[in-house]
Amino acid sequence: MFIAEYGASGLLPPLVLLAALLIDAIVGEFGPLFRVLPHPVAMIGAVTDWLDRRLNRERRAAAARAR
């Protein structure tokens, strides 16, 4: 049976760990990519900042502004 042969006590976890280590060694920290594109957390922060400025403008009524 698949689960008995490759389950938590079988061969699959060490193979997954080995594959993850190989992928990390090849790909690494995506340094070249983050020199071209911002990090996803930085992009989320930029969107949050933009929404905050857009939705909380001083000229909007107090009831229409986010709290």
- Residue 5: both structure tokens together: 């042969």
**Segment 20-52, tens digit of pLDDT:** 999 888 877 777 788 898 888 999 999 999 999
pLDDT one-digit tens code per residue, 1-15: 455 555 556 778 888
Q: Among all chains, which residue has been given the structure tokens 């698949």?
A: 2
Q: What is the pTM of this model?
A: 0.49
| pLDDT over 70 (residue 63) | yes
CA–CA separation, 27 and 19 (whole Å): 12
**Residue 59 DSSP class:** T
How many helices and strands, by DSSP H and E, does the chain display? 4, 0
